[in-house]
Chain A
Amino acid sequence: MGSDYEYSDDDGEYYDDEEMFDGTQDEGDDVDMDNFGDDFKVAGKGKRKSYEVDYDSLSQQAVEKLMQRDVDHICGIFGVDTDTANLLLRHMKWNKERLIEKFMDNATSVLVAAGVAAPEPASPPAPVRTHNNSAPNSSTTRRPTTRGSKLLSLASGSKSAKSPPSTPKPMQRQLSKKQDEPFVCQICFNDAPDLQTLSLGCDHAFCTECWTDYIVSKIRDESEHSIRCMAEGCALVAPDSFIRSVLLPETGADPEKQEFNEKTWSRLQELFVRHFVGCNSSLKFCPYPSCTNTVSCPSAASKSSLTTIVPTVSCGARGIGNSAQDPAQSQQASLGLQGKEHKFCFGCDIESDHRPVICGVARMWLKKCRDDSETANWIKSNTKECSACQSTIEKNGGCNHMTCKKCKHEFCWVCMGPWSEHGTAWYSCNRFDEKTGVDARDAQSRSRASLERYLHYYNRWANHEQSAKLSLDLYAKTEKKMEEMQITSALTWIEVQFMKKAVEEVDKCRMTLKWTYAMAYYLAKGNEKELFEDNQRDLEKAVEDLSELLESQIEAEQIPTLRQQVTNKTVYVQKRNEIVLEDTANGFLEGRWRWNVPVPGFDDPVETA
């Protein structure tokens, strides 16, 4: 069953790995994901359509693996530990090439700038630490692994280090005991003798509790992933292992706090991923609330590519949680938006599918709608423009002798001609075909025409948007009908899915139709536009037919016919939609479309005579 036709969205928007990254990556992009092909589902699929883009959906774990690979690479080249590599990469906004270049040039300065090492003091630092805890500390269980030795060897090996570079100190140090002065934490002024303290390589020691509060406050209140030493003016950044040991100590505190800190830690991981994604132009974070997936779309990474493609992508997740595949729950989910996939545009911030129109034009249209639509209708029905200065005038009473408030032009409201020519025939305009009157009306009708034109497109656009919103109701109704059908006929659950498929198709096509009106509004007149509008008309007709069919009453004996009809229509609608999308997309690739307004990335419109 269901083999009558295929739904392209059923098998997911996953494409072949090979094809995806084939020559589409730009030089600056060093994320090579082929090795991670097995981390996400890649379903083999035929040649992609011209209106689709190659993209891939990555889970947070997958992105973390990509990050880890960069980190490992840097560790290997520089011989540094993971913590250092992480700090260096984050500092350089994950631009590996620049990091390597800079590091080779002057390792010390990069390490200082990244907050890995303290800047070299003028005189060698005194080895005595005055901040140590006086009381013998019984609970020094956490012995940090000694890193930094590797770092030291490499730093001294780098060519530009003239004097011995500052020796990066171990990142974390549980204070050793002794010293005469009792330690007082400079933040909470706690001087308890058994106070546990921590410090970064700079030896600015503070009590563990203050560190915890500080880190939590940075991550939770400020969403900051780069956490500097608390001492004033100290630029050292806390490495991951340090933060982890503070937030998640091995000797667990009370469980409630433990859970809170675990959440803080995972929030930090998300911040790291977001930072990485933000630094890479071929990645984008899913804008849907509480979704942590990332989409990779190298072909849409550059701004210039957005004049030829509409990178509609989906992060792979559906609704909240991935339960939509389960038939029992899908019925619930499909009633609301929860079941919808997270579709968004990779190239701009429109959180839906705005194919076939490109980002720049879509944005322009949305802006125009925000500015114009609310008052446009009223203006159209209640006002006229002054024939001299074109200001919009509302006639709210009185005679036809109008005096424009702005330019003081006197004219007749009926014929729009100048009042001076009315002579003695005041208050009864009989001069309709006088030349000046005709000219004035012409000027006005031109101005009206542009408003009319806009409203023509806007009303259709708004209508499809409205219908798309109503599709939620349609889903619900259809769901009910499907149940009815299962009861009234011998059809099984799987056999009545054609209704749902049809509704989904209608919804999808209405989105396309909606945006075709935005596109048509800006398209320059000509054969190309006519062809575009022909395609648009065919799709619209097909969608309306199918919509009507879905709304019709169901009679038990007609179900087989209905099914036949709906299935046929669905296939037809789908084909028409594809034609519109494909033709438009090809048009962009061929540079066929011409606009009637200047659009960035295109030639300026040629004035048509």
Chain B
Amino acid sequence: MDARLRRVNKEISDCKNDKTSQIKIELFDESPFHLKGSFPGPEGTPYEGGLFEVDIVIPDSYPFQPVKMKFITKVYHPNVSSASGAICLDILKDAWSPVLTLKSTLISLQSLLCSPEPNDPQDAEVAKHYMTSKSSFEETATYWTQIYAGGPGPKEKKGKGVGGKGVQDEVAIAGLERAHVDRFETLGFERSKVIDALRRLNYRGPNIAQITDDRVVEELLK
């Protein structure tokens, strides 16, 4: 049997038998080389309680070349693209070793969620948010976990069944303060545009003092 196929099959069945790691690997369709992995968000992080799905493509020269992975679930994290789910992680590139498995790689992703590397970002805007105000970043990440990954949401609102999936707060998704958005909206700008501009400017935490209203308006008029 083809060594690659044997290895992938073994990896999938190993994962099935392993009940402790909570990591799942399933087939998308018939192909054993396009898989869907999933793992729960690590405890004690804004991702706790969410279930994160990963798109896995096994290249022809696997395991000698690294697997291709990206998040299906939207994640608010400096090393994950908030738009495409692309992941910046060394073992998916040059630090790959053939002894790494799908499971161990997924575990690495899980631990990447625990320890962001904002200095080597995949998503610069998210990384800036993280660097400016960690607490505000964590709020947004928690909110994303809640609406995209089925997480429980912010702690104080736990159990209240906030919002539900239908109602999504654009301001919270962008990691901004409602008061700020409202203020510029009253100047006569469209709400979505205000959110966009403030996000680009990283209008958060201590940064706010440094960004004049004129600068915001300028960005809005662009």
Contact = CB atoms under 8 A, between A and B. Distances in A.
B7 A233 contact: no
B110 interface: no
B98 A210 contact: yes
B64 A218 contact: yes
A188 interface: yes
Nearest to A189: B10
A188 B64 contact: no
Given A187-B63, A217-B61, A221-B65, A232 B6 contact: no
Nearest to B14: A189
A230 B64 CA distance: 9
A190 B6 CA distance: 8
Contact of A190 (B3, B61, B98, B100): B3
B99 interface: yes
Interface residues of B, number: 13
Interface string A52-63: 000000000000
Contacts of B61: 213, 217, 221
B65 A188 contact: no
A450 B179 CA distance: 59
Given A217-B65, A218-B64, A188 B3 contact: yes
A349 B98 CA distance: 38
Nearest to B4: A188
Nearest to B91: A232
A221 B61 CA distance: 9
A209 B3 contact: yes
Interface residues of A, number: 19
A366 interface: no
Interface in A218-253: 218, 221, 230-234
A593 interface: no
Contacts of B10: 189
Given A189-B10, A218-B64, A221-B61, A213 B97 contact: no
A233 B97 contact: yes
**Secondary structure of the A side of the interface?**
loop
A231 B100 CA distance: 8
Contacts of A218: 64
Contacts of A233: 97
A171 to B, nearest CB: 19
B157 to A, nearest CB: 41
A126 B63 CA distance: 29
Contacts of A187: 7, 63, 98-99
Contacts of B99: 186-187, 204, 230-232
B98 A230 contact: yes
A457 interface: no
Contacts of A206: 98
Interface in B46-74: 61, 63-65
Contacts, number: 40
Contacts of A217: 61, 64-65
Contact of B7 (A189, A204, A231): A189
B17 to A, nearest CB: 14
A214 interface: yes
Interface string B83-102: 00000000100000111100
A34 B64 CA distance: 43
A231 B98 CA distance: 7
Nearest to A231: B99
A576 B49 CA distance: 84
A188 B2 CA distance: 9
A186 B14 CA distance: 13
Contacts of B65: 217, 221
Nearest to B2: A188
A145 B6 CA distance: 34
B97 A230 contact: yes
Contacts of A214: 64, 98
Contacts of A190: 3, 6
Nearest to B63: A187
Contacts of A231: 97, 99
Contacts of A232: 91, 97, 99-100
A340 B158 CA distance: 79
B68 to A, nearest CB: 15
Looking at B7, B91, B99, B100, which has the most chain A CB atoms within 10 Å of its CB? B99
A486 to B, nearest CB: 58
Contacts of A234: 97
Contacts of B7: 187-189
Interface in A450-477: none
A86 to B, nearest CB: 22
A217 B7 CA distance: 17
A209 B6 CA distance: 14
B36 to A, nearest CB: 22
Interface string A195-219: 0000000001010011001100110
Nearest to A218: B64
Nearest to A204: B99
Contacts of B91: 232
A395 B65 CA distance: 60
Interface in A164-204: 186-190, 204
Looking at A186, A189, A209, which has the most chain B CB atoms within 10 Å of its CB? A189
Contacts of B63: 187
A221 B3 CA distance: 18
B104 to A, nearest CB: 8
A188 B97 contact: no
A236 to B, nearest CB: 12
A158 to B, nearest CB: 31
A204 B99 CA distance: 10
Nearest to A229: B97
Contacts of B97: 230-234
A206 B63 CA distance: 13
Nearest to B61: A217
A213 B100 contact: no
Interface string B1-18: 001001100100000000
Interface of B: 3, 6-7, 10, 61, 63-65, 91, 97-100
Given A187-B7, A190-B3, A230-B99, 6 more contacts: A187-B98, A189-B6, A206-B98, A210-B3, A213-B3, A213-B64
19 contacts: A186-B99, A187-B7, A187-B99, A188-B6, A188-B7, A189-B6, A189-B10, A190-B3, A204-B99, A206-B98, A210-B3, A210-B98, A213-B3, A213-B61, A221-B61, A221-B65, A230-B97, A231-B97, A234-B97
Q: Which 7 residue pairs are nearest across A and B when measured between Cβ atoms?
A: A232-B97, A217-B64, A189-B10, A188-B3, A230-B98, A187-B98, A214-B64
